[in-house]
Structure 1
Amino acid sequence: MVKSVAGEETRLKSAEDRLSRSSITAEVGIIIGKLSLHLERGFVYDLIPTPPTDGGGPACSLKFDTGGWDGRKKGSKGGKASAEAIPSLLIDGEWVAEHARQVSRMLLGGMSVIGIYVWSSEASFKATSASALSQAVRVVAQATPSFESETNERLLIHISHSPKRWACRNCAITSVDLRPCDFKMSKLLPTLQTYRCMYGFDIRIPVDVVSTSNTFKNVLRSGISRHARDLQSARALFDGKLVAENQQVTSDGLHNVELLLPFKGDAQHGSSGDVAGLLVFRGAICAYAYLNPKEPASQAISDLKNDIINSLKGRLDLVFEEGEGTLDMASNDLGKESDEMVSGKPIHQLILHELRKPLVLSFPRRVLVPWLSGTFICDYLLSSETFEDVKDRCRELLSMEAPAESIGLLELETEAEPPIASSFWDVVRGNPISSNGEPKNKTPSIPLKKSKYFNFNL
């Protein structure tokens, strides 16, 4: 349970100054930070206002609900109004949740959306029911599930402008309880430790003939979830050395981490029925994690693993959401009937066991963007996008000014050459490729459509 919360002083004071200078009477936004069960503390790194809705309206407004009150105090002479009705907060929880979902995709390990904040008067906040406030927190939590969900707690911060004060509450997402917790401001971001891991993976998923869920979406998500379980048993080297999991890393600077997966056979990935093909998902991820100096090395490992899986799932969601065209056949020599099975079909509806040709799909690549006090956030570039798209998303979703020049952005996931399409058994057995790009068993390669393939190949 989180018993106390510390906020980054420079960012929270900056948010308060911005709100005080504005004429806004009510605002809602998301909290970026971390909830540490090991330390029983919460850390707030920044407050991000939720953008206006598609209709241009605010995500949070004031509403007057008199409940039939006629504005006159009973028994008062002359029928004079006794007091003005106090407005309560009306929060568009679904819109805030969508904002939180998109922002959470841009956060690296050790940082996540941990709740919401509200800017209003003390009276309006008290006039808002606890169920309405907890519901807003709950839908944000449901929109940003963590691969490694260790807590069902989220934070609700109220910044009052009349009178001026800060208050923090701990919200259990399974109930409507809003428990007050200690809150203070201090320097957090400059003390964070940075961990980086270049993680290569090669996931091979058999495609059953008889399965009824062999869509591209279901098969790949199942493979990522299975790989997430395998990843939990990985050990780690910190700067080339084994470190006890309960040990604290005290040295400063960037720490390079190498994850070591135990050797396993392919039995756990086998198929219970006839196999129609094999989905091969390979690539390399540049994973990052930020850690409080008082947290143990095991937390850095956990945050890096979390970042890897969240990055895989986030890129997969982007492919579905953006609808980057459709999958194209790698060649045209296997008949018109097979082409018609796939041509023009959305990616998520593709039935893999119906395919008769190799297909290739490139995934979005991660780009690191400078954020606060030497930390980074990330974004994902589709093949049709440029760095200008990254800057636009940073402005819209995080209310930040992206680097004026693209030189401030980091691309640590380098481009990969397109894979050589080979037969099913070559892929299963992992037959090596000769120096001229042809399989050593002389199986003819299928020419691939010319395009730019990035770090992920499917």
Structure 2
Amino acid sequence: MVKAVVGEETQLNVVEDRLSQSSIPAQVGLVIGKLSSTLDKGFVYDLLPTPPNDAGELACSLIDTKDDNKKKGSKPKSQQPPDFSSLIIDNDWVAEHARQVTRMLVGGVHVIGIYIWVSHSAFKNSTMLLSQTVKGVAEAAPISGVDLDERLLIHISYSPRRWTCRNCVLSSNITSTSVRPCDFKKGRVLSSLQMYRSTYNFDIRLPLSRDNATNALTLGEVLRRGIAVAGRELNSSKATIDGKLVVNNDQCTADGMHEVEFLIPFMNSSVEASRQKDVIGTLVFRGSVISFAIVNSKELASLAVADIKDDIIRSLQSRLDIICDDAEENLESTLDAGNEASGDISSGKPLSHRPLHELRKSCNISLPRRIFVPWLPGTYICVYLQPSETIEVLKDHFVELISMEAPSDASKILEPELEAPSLNIASFWDTLGPSSSVPNNSTSSTKKKTETSSRRKEISQTTVGFNITSFTAAVFILLLSALVGYLLTKR
């Protein structure tokens, strides 16, 4: 359990100044950082306000439960809130914000809770609502590989001005959620972080069996199976950091970027086994994933490797989610210019949502490409670009999701993935020929043709042999007759 939380004072002071100058009565947002079960600590890197929804409505607002307290002088509500005020929070929108931001975070960085800027009285009146918001965020942005069932709830009070932090222990029953206070202080957090980098090359081949067609599995569902295969491959691998094999109790104390490489077992194959007669198509999923992880210098090197592995799988899942989310409007841009897969969508369904047995032509799909942008000092944040998008879309991503202006200097943006991972789907209708659909008839027919050919060959050879023998005998008899005639004439 997290017993103490340390927040990066530089970033938190900027957030506090921004809130105090805005004169807004309430604001909700996400807490970005890491929960360390080994250190029993939580580290807060930054706070991101949840933007207004598509209708322009704020994610959080205050209401007054007393009619006679709706108007209390001319002072701003941030300085003189009503005593009986309570919060209204759009939980679904805050959860969606958490889901979108999670895609942009690298390894070792997570959405670890929410913060709320509101008066002390309004906070006390809204404890249950805030617990529900925390739970929704945890479900939308799960932290894989972490055995902690808690998230943080940070309250920034403006009356009186102070910071407090609580642990929200998650539970299936929201009425039993436990909210416990924990120690909170500001300090230097970012200066103790270390950066890890890895390149993971993968080539996954998935046979598409008759079971896929019978159950009407979609491309998205089959591709998730492929990502699961990659996850099993990574989990079974060993890793080296800067050329040295990682042992559980090792620590990386050196500064600078650390390179992580994975040692995949030699006999470990990423090709799923299947009976040949059941295979009616193939799906080839290949490419390279560039991964970064940010880890506290006091944590073990094995945790850095775990964060890198998690980032790789999360990156593949994020790309698939983006394709599924944007399939309707971006289908044409995701298909390669040279194929004719657009002819397969006459039903109106996007490619990622269509059953695979409906695909009538082979197609190639390029997944979004990952780029990295400097974020907090010494850290990066990532954005995924569709094949038809340019770096200009960064402006919208950064302003809307993390309240940050995109860097004006393009040279600071890292684009290590020169080619995005790709997906090739072999056509069902090209593979569903006589050799695969009716193997018994085809085999017997081929066998009959072979036997007939052999018989014809034998007959031909016999005929040739017979003709040669007859010719030789005739010549011999003719010569013998001539010799006998000659002898008789001499007598």
TM-score normalised according to structure 1 size: 0.83
Q: What CA RMSD, in Å, does the superposition of the two structures yield over aligned residues?
A: 2.6
Show the counterpart of 2:442: none
Question: What is the CA distance between 1:351 and its match in structure 2?
Answer: 2.5
Question: What is the CA distance between 1:416 and its match in structure 2?
Answer: 6.7
Q: Secondary structure at the match of 1:396?
A: helix
Question: What is the CA distance between 1:414 and its match in structure 2?
Answer: 1.1
Match of 2:331 among 325, 328, 344: 325
Show the counterpart of 2:264: 261
Match of 2:140 among 129, 140, 143: 143
1:227 maps to 2:219: no
The residue identity in structure 2 corresponding to 1:176 is T
Distance 1:359 1:27, change over 3 A: same
Show the counterpart of 1:98: 96
**Would the aligned equivalents of 2:239 and 2:260 in 1 still touch at CA under 8 Å?**
yes
Deviations 1:333-392 (A, max 9, x none): xxxxx9854456412223223445321000100010011112110000011211110122
The residue identity in structure 1 corresponding to 2:44 is V
Show the counterpart of 1:362: 366
Q: Secondary structure at the match of 1:284?
A: strand
**Would the aligned equivalents of 2:336 and 2:366 in 1 still touch at CA under 8 Å?**
no
1:42 maps to 2:45: no
Question: What is the CA distance between 1:321 and its match in structure 2?
Answer: 0.9
Deviations 1:113-140 (A, max 9, x none): 0000000111111122x32111000001
Q: Which has the larger radius of gyration?
A: 2
Question: What is the CA distance between 1:267 and its match in structure 2?
Answer: 9.0
**Would the aligned equivalents of 1:208 and 1:353 in 2 still touch at CA under 8 Å?**
no
Distance 1:2 1:149, change over 3 A: same
**For residues 336 and 257 of structure 2, what CA distance do their matches in structure 1 show?**
42
Q: Secondary structure at the match of 1:181?
A: strand
Show the counterpart of 2:190: 189
**Would the aligned equivalents of 1:276 and 1:353 in 2 still touch at CA under 8 Å?**
no
**Would the aligned equivalents of 1:147 and 1:310 in 2 still touch at CA under 8 Å?**
no
1:282 maps to 2:286: yes
**For residues 54 and 343 of structure 2, what CA distance do their matches in structure 1 show?**
38
1:383 maps to 2:387: yes
Distance 1:387 1:84, change over 3 A: closer
1:394 maps to 2:398: yes
Instruction: Structure 2: give runs of 5+ residues left out of the alignment.
Output: 70-80, 432-491
**For residues 6 and 422 of structure 2, what CA distance do their matches in structure 1 show?**
47
1:154 maps to 2:138: no
Distance 1:307 1:260, change over 3 A: same
**Would the aligned equivalents of 1:115 and 1:137 in 2 still touch at CA under 8 Å?**
yes
The residue identity in structure 2 corresponding to 1:48 is L
Q: Secondary structure at the match of 1:207?
A: strand
Show the counterpart of 2:220: 217
Show the counterpart of 1:241: 244
Could you tell me the percent identity over the aligned residues? Answer: 52
Question: What is the CA distance between 1:27 and its match in structure 2?
Answer: 0.5
Show the counterpart of 2:319: 315
**For residues 254 and 37 of structure 2, what CA distance do their matches in structure 1 show?**
23
Distance 1:417 1:280, change over 3 A: closer
**For residues 258 and 418 of structure 1, what CA distance do their matches in structure 2 show?**
22
Show the counterpart of 2:55: 55
Distance 1:199 1:124, change over 3 A: same
Q: Secondary structure at the match of 1:61?
A: strand
Question: What is the CA distance between 1:266 and its match in structure 2?
Answer: 4.6
Q: Secondary structure at the match of 2:128?
A: helix
**Would the aligned equivalents of 1:27 and 1:49 in 2 still touch at CA under 8 Å?**
yes
Aligned length: 406
The residue identity in structure 2 corresponding to 1:182 is D
Distance 1:342 1:13, change over 3 A: same
Show the counterpart of 1:27: 27
**Would the aligned equivalents of 1:367 and 1:380 in 2 still touch at CA under 8 Å?**
yes
Distance 1:239 1:220, change over 3 A: same
**Would the aligned equivalents of 2:370 and 2:415 in 1 still touch at CA under 8 Å?**
yes
Question: What is the CA distance between 1:305 and its match in structure 2?
Answer: 0.4
**Would the aligned equivalents of 1:329 and 1:358 in 2 still touch at CA under 8 Å?**
no
Q: Secondary structure at the match of 2:302?
A: helix
Show the counterpart of 1:173: 170
Distance 1:95 1:21, change over 3 A: same
Instruction: Structure 1: give runs of 5+ residues left out of the alignment.
Output: 72-82, 333-337, 428-458
**Would the aligned equivalents of 1:277 and 1:353 in 2 still touch at CA under 8 Å?**
no
Say which is worse superposed, 16-25 or 210-219, in terms of deviation.
Answer: 210-219
**Would the aligned equivalents of 1:202 and 1:280 in 2 still touch at CA under 8 Å?**
yes
**Would the aligned equivalents of 2:203 and 2:270 in 1 still touch at CA under 8 Å?**
no
Show the counterpart of 1:374: 378
The residue identity in structure 2 corresponding to 1:29 is G
**For residues 255 and 122 of structure 1, what CA distance do their matches in structure 2 show?**
44
**For residues 423 and 216 of structure 1, what CA distance do their matches in structure 2 show?**
12
Deviations 1:310-342 (A, max 9, x none): 00000001111112225579657xxxxx98544
**For residues 256 and 204 of structure 2, what CA distance do their matches in structure 1 show?**
32
Deviations 1:191-229 (A, max 9, x none): 210000011111111111133143101100112123212
**Would the aligned equivalents of 1:329 and 1:357 in 2 still touch at CA under 8 Å?**
no
**For residues 404 and 331 of structure 1, what CA distance do their matches in structure 2 show?**
37
The residue identity in structure 2 corresponding to 1:94 is D
Q: Secondary structure at the match of 2:366?
A: coil
Distance 1:417 1:24, change over 3 A: closer
**Would the aligned equivalents of 1:201 and 1:284 in 2 still touch at CA under 8 Å?**
yes
